[in-house]
Amino acid sequence: MDYKEELFEIKNEIKQAEKSITDFSADANDTRSELNELAMRIDDIARKTGYEIPTTIPLQEINTNDIDLSIDVILSSISNTQQKFPKLSATDIVISSIAGIIAVSIDVFLVGTPEVVKIYKGGENFDGSTITKAIRKLGEGKLGDMCRRLEDICKIPYDIAVIKDGMYPQNHRLRSLSHDPFFGVFFAIFDILLNTTTFIDNSGFLRIIPNSTYQSSITNKVLSVFYYIGHILSDMFTARGIPIPGFFLTQFFTEGDANDSIAKIAEGMYLDGYDLRHLASMSTPVLVKRIIIDTYLRLTEKEIYITSVPLAKREKIEIDKTLRKEKLSFIANAIMVSGNVAKFFVPPYSCKPCSINVPEWFEFIKNGIVILQAQLRDYSTEEAMHNRDDINAVWDNLLYTL
């Protein structure tokens, strides 16, 4: 027999046994520490709740049914699902509805529907909108005189009023792309630098023609943006005014009957006073609605000491504030555009295109996009915070029920 090899194997087995005993002793110590910590926590809860713990409790006498029942009762009183939007109170709904109704009233009775009425001796009179009429009267004073002086100063090559099969004095600002108060700056710079006129003809085609009667100076070209702004201001308070931003795009849609195409309907709207001044008038209901909701939110805002709130909780508070405002706005906007639909169909307006309130519809669409984005957002972090709050609520309630 090889005693050395046998003793070596026995020695290894003894070392493994010693290691197992050491690991078991460490696990026992960890278990003992956990039990001591648990006992301390139980003792702490007992002292807070006034519950006396017997010195010895037979295992078979421990009844967990009462604890389970208490937890079930507490959980049933807590919402189990995270709400994507904060709930609105009855007062919130009433205020937002009132804001929408007020906006509808302003749109119907003060904004109205613009209409240029022909009078004797070839003259014209403006009617149909109280607010727009007041804005147009601003052009009869010193403000209008100051703007008209800019016409002599800001000479530009694209102000051609008559082009065969394209423009005439009444519609040339609608057809000329450089007269647009937003997109027009790009076309104006192009026209001034190249001494051209860019417009849309009767067939809906974009045309660029040179101006042989006027030559852009070096000053015109260097200060083209300022000349564009000055010319826009000079036309602001004239009889036809300046078109709504982007309204020239309607002139590309010439399909259909001569008088029923989108281009002709839009041109008729512009000739009736559906211009930049009426856009300001149409924005009044939207502005009033915003003021009402913002004032209400400011008055009902709860004071929160942000510095004492964790960052994640702080972000959740801000998200809820924003979504509450969007929900209030959505209710008001829905009522507002519904009123505009009724205004369009109900006499005396009787389906007049000029009765469409563009700012109201843009406000409703923009608000709807925000609501949709909020509905589709990833709210897993918010849900985790919600679950943490539920767990805390269960522990707080258990202190009073055990």
Percent of the chain residues topping a pLDDT of 90: 53
CA 319 to each of CA 86, 202, 312, 388, 389: distance values in angstroms, whole numbers, following the listed order:
9, 50, 11, 18, 17
Range of lowest pLDDT (22-36, 289-303, 375-389): 375-389
Average pLDDT over residues 29-56: 70
CB 254 within 8 A of CB 263: yes
Burial class for 56, CB neighbours closer than 10 Å (0-12, 13-18, 19+): exposed
CA–CA distance from 221 to each of 103, 216, 234 (Å)? 45, 7, 19
Q: Which amino acid belongs to residue 88?
A: L
332 pLDDT band (50/70/90 cuts)?
Answer: very high
Helix extents (H) in 161-305: 172-175, 184-194, 218-222, 224-235, 262-271, 276-300
- Give the pair of three-digit tokens for residue 232: 């826009």
| Residue 79 reports pLDDT greater than 80 | no
CB 229 within 8 A of CB 265: no
Instruction: Compute φ and ψ for 163, nearest 5 degrees.
Output: -140, 130
User: Which are the contacts of 248, defined by CB distance < 8 A and separation ≥ 6?
Assistant: 174, 175, 176, 177, 179, 180, 183, 200
Residue 141 pLDDT: 83
Bridge partners for 47 per DSSP: none
pTM of the entire structure? 0.75
Query: pLDDT band for position 162 (50/70/90)?
Result: very high
In this prediction, residue 2 carries a pLDDT of 53
Q: Which residues pair with 209 in a beta bridge?
A: 197
Least confident of 57-71, 220-234, 297-311: 57-71
Residue 266 near residue 251 (C-beta atoms within 8 A): yes
pLDDT tier, 303 (very low <50, low <70, confident <90, very high otherwise): low
The rounded distance, in Å, linking the Cα atoms of 203 and 234 is: 29
pLDDT for 316: 78
Q: Name the band, by pLDDT with cuts 50, 70 and 90, for residue 313.
A: confident
In order of 10, 23, 198, the CA distances from 18 in angstroms are: 12, 9, 96
ω into residue 169 within 30 of 0, thus cis? no
Percent of the chain surpassing pLDDT 70? 78
What's 197's DSSP letter?
E
Distance CA 31, CA 51 (A): 26
- Give the mean pLDDT of 16-39: 77
DSSP H helices, 127-261, are: 130-137, 142-153, 172-175, 184-194, 218-222, 224-235
Q: Which amino acid is at 145?
A: D
At 74 the pLDDT is 52
349 neighbors 343 (Cβ within 8 angstroms): yes
pLDDT band at 370 (very low <50, low <70, confident <90, very high): very high
User: Minimum mean pLDDT among 115-124, 202-211, 240-249: which range?
Assistant: 115-124
Residue 357 has pLDDT above 80, yes or no: yes
Mean pLDDT over 98-109 rounds to: 97
Q: What is the pLDDT of residue 340?
A: 96
Q: Which of 237-251, 281-295, 375-389 has the least mean pLDDT?
A: 375-389
When pLDDT is averaged across residues 115-131 and rounded to a whole number, the result is 82
Is the pLDDT at 356 greater than 80? The verdict is: yes
pLDDT for residue 59: 46
**What is the pLDDT of the chain when averaged over all its residues?**
84
Contact 132/277 with Cβ under 8 angstroms? yes
- Mean of pLDDT values over 77-101: 82
- Contact between 226 and 192 (Cβ < 8 Å): no
Q: Give the confidence band of 263 by pLDDT, cuts at 50, 70, 90.
A: very high
Residue 85 has pLDDT above 70, yes or no: yes
Give residue 30's pLDDT.
Answer: 80
* Residue 62 confidence (pLDDT): 47
CB 166 within 8 A of CB 207: yes
What's the count of helices (H) and strands (E) in the chain, helices before strands? Answer: 14, 4
Which amino acid would we find at residue 135? I
Asked if the model's pLDDT at residue 280 lies above 70, the reply is: yes
385 pLDDT exceeds 90? no
Between 353 and 351, whose confidence is greater? 353
Q: Name the pLDDT band for 389 (thresholds 50, 70, 90).
A: low
Token pair 């009736």 in the structure block, residue: 272
Lowest mean pLDDT among 220-234, 345-359, 383-397: 383-397
The confidence score (pLDDT) of residue 344 equals: 93
Give the residue-averaged pLDDT of 147-158. 90
CA neighbor of 100 nearest in space, from 340, 356, 316: 340
